[in-house]
Amino acid sequence: MNRVYNFAAGPSVMPQAVLEKAAAEMLNYNNTGMSVMEMSHRSKAYQAIFDETEAVLRRLMNIPETYSVLFLQGGATGQFAAIPMNLLKTSADYIDSGNFAHIAYGEAKKYGNVRCVASSREDNYSHIPVWNTADFDPNADYLYITTNNTIFGTRYATLPETGNVPLVADMSSNILSEVYDVNRIGVIYAGAQKNVGPAGLTIVIVRKDLLGHAQATCPKVFDWTVMTDKGSMMNTPPTYAIYMAGLCMKWLEDQGGVAAIEKVNIEKSAILYDLLDNSSFYRAPVEKNSRSRMNVTFTTPDPDTDALFVKEAAALGMVNLKGHRLVGGIRASIYNAMPVEGVKALAEFMQKFEL
Ligand SMILES: *Cc1c(COP(=O)(O)O)cnc(C)c1O
């Protein structure tokens, strides 16, 4: 069977070259006589894979030594709780830019005093919330944002200025898709299954001076300080997912790194947004300055036609285009691994479908 163009929001498309390499190494990794899946996480062979994966990520994102890089489990959702458990002493501020931000805010309330300082919930999250820096608590333990809102298709074009308050960023759906200055952010975290690799791995990048403040009841598996001391191996890490993420990151390096793929991502999303802007048939609900480069959301004139669009596209090998149930319509997730050809094929179909 031919491979499809997979526009799923996550788990999502992976580079074909990576899947082929993993397949080739499946039974016998680097003459060890076993699959990476079968290796002890304490073995030399596995530690080399782990160390190389961290090194590639540090190179790709230009992560300084003053930051700890953790490879954990529990998903982004686990970190919704881990963040307050590791950082919250007095109070924290949240910007509510989408469903995941809203859930993170709700979860944090269990662990202490948190405030919502800006929200676009009333507008069904069709834009990044407008914030007023004066509303931020200058003594907050952190300010929380979601850099790319996967369900609604929005993205922060600029990051809030927080002074000495550490910024905590959920980058689950746009990490490694564009250049960020890590030094501006206290904690970056992401579930791997959108833009980094397979599900099962959660990446946490934390500035080391923020360690050492975990609440007493914080489980050890979520304690960034314990995990930093143990090199992410307080217990068994998601060994195979880390290996696969490493292969994807090396593939990204081969593409020229994050700055190079950012250009491609701008180009890919522009193909779709230009078409949407020039059409009276399709509607793009997101305000222009909030548009995501990873998740492009749009509708046809009515829900029945949306469903027909999704069905006809699937018959042509363009799958998983149905929008999230909270938004309806159509969503094309076009992460790093989605080739330009896939986006062009979708655009061509969109034009034909409109006629
Ligand atoms: C998918 C996603 C999550 C949830 O991730 P899980 O790994 O399923 O817990 C959280 N935040 C964002 C921005 C996401 O895209």
What are 35-63's pLDDT values in tens digits? 999 999 999 999 999 999 999 999 999 99
Ligand 1 contacts (CB < 6 A) are: 10, 75-77, 100, 146, 150, 170, 172-173, 191, 194
CA of 243 to the centre of ligand 1 (A): 20
From residue 172, how far is each of 71, 202, 232 by CA, in Å? Answer: 14, 9, 19
Q: ∠ CA(324), CA(325), CA(330), 5° rounding?
A: 45
CA of 355 to the centre of ligand 1 (A): 36
CB within 8 A of 186, min separation 6: which ones?
142, 166, 167, 168, 206, 207, 210
What are 315-348's pLDDT values in tens digits? 999 999 999 999 999 999 999 999 999 999 999 9
Question: Can you tell me whether residue 201 is helix, strand or coil?
Answer: coil
Q: Which helix (H) or strand (E) holds 56?
A: helix 44-61
pLDDT > 90 in the chain, percent: 99
Cα 282 from chain centre: 27
Cα–Cα distance between 241 and 133 in angstroms, integer? 39
pTM over 0.85: yes
Is the pLDDT confidence value at 2 over 90? no
Type of residue numbered 204: V
What pLDDT score was predicted for residue 87?
98
**Would you call 8 exposed, middle or buried from its count of C-beta atoms within 10 A (0-12, 13-18, 19+)?**
middle
From residue 340, how far is each of 263, 337, 354 by CA, in Å? Answer: 12, 9, 21
Q: Ligand 1, residues 97, 107, 144, 173: which to mutate, most atoms within 8 A of Cβ?
A: 173
Type of residue numbered 152: F
CA of 132 to the centre of ligand 1 (A): 26
CA of 170 to the centre of ligand 1 (A): 8
Please state, rounded to an integer, the average pLDDT across all residues of the chain. 97
The model's confidence at residue 1, banded by pLDDT at 50, 70 and 90, is low
What pLDDT score was predicted for residue 115?
98
CA torsion angle 117 123 124 128 (round to 10)? -50
Bridge partners of 67? 207
**CA 7, 13, 15, 17 torsion-angle sign:** negative
What are 7-19's pLDDT values in tens digits? 999 999 999 999 9
What pLDDT score was predicted for residue 242?
98
- What is the rounded average pLDDT of the residues 291-314? 98
What pLDDT score was predicted for residue 139?
98
What are 257-277's pLDDT values in tens digits? 999 999 999 999 999 999 999
Q: Which helix (H) or strand (E) holds 155?
A: strand 154-155
What are 59-114's pLDDT values in tens digits? 999 999 999 999 999 999 999 999 999 999 999 999 999 999 999 999 999 999 99
What residue owns the CA closest to ligand 1's atom 12? 172
The model's confidence at residue 355, banded by pLDDT at 50, 70 and 90, is confident
What are 135-184's pLDDT values in tens digits? 999 999 999 999 999 999 999 999 999 999 999 999 999 999 999 999 99
Cα–Cα distance between 47 and 49 in angstroms, integer? 5
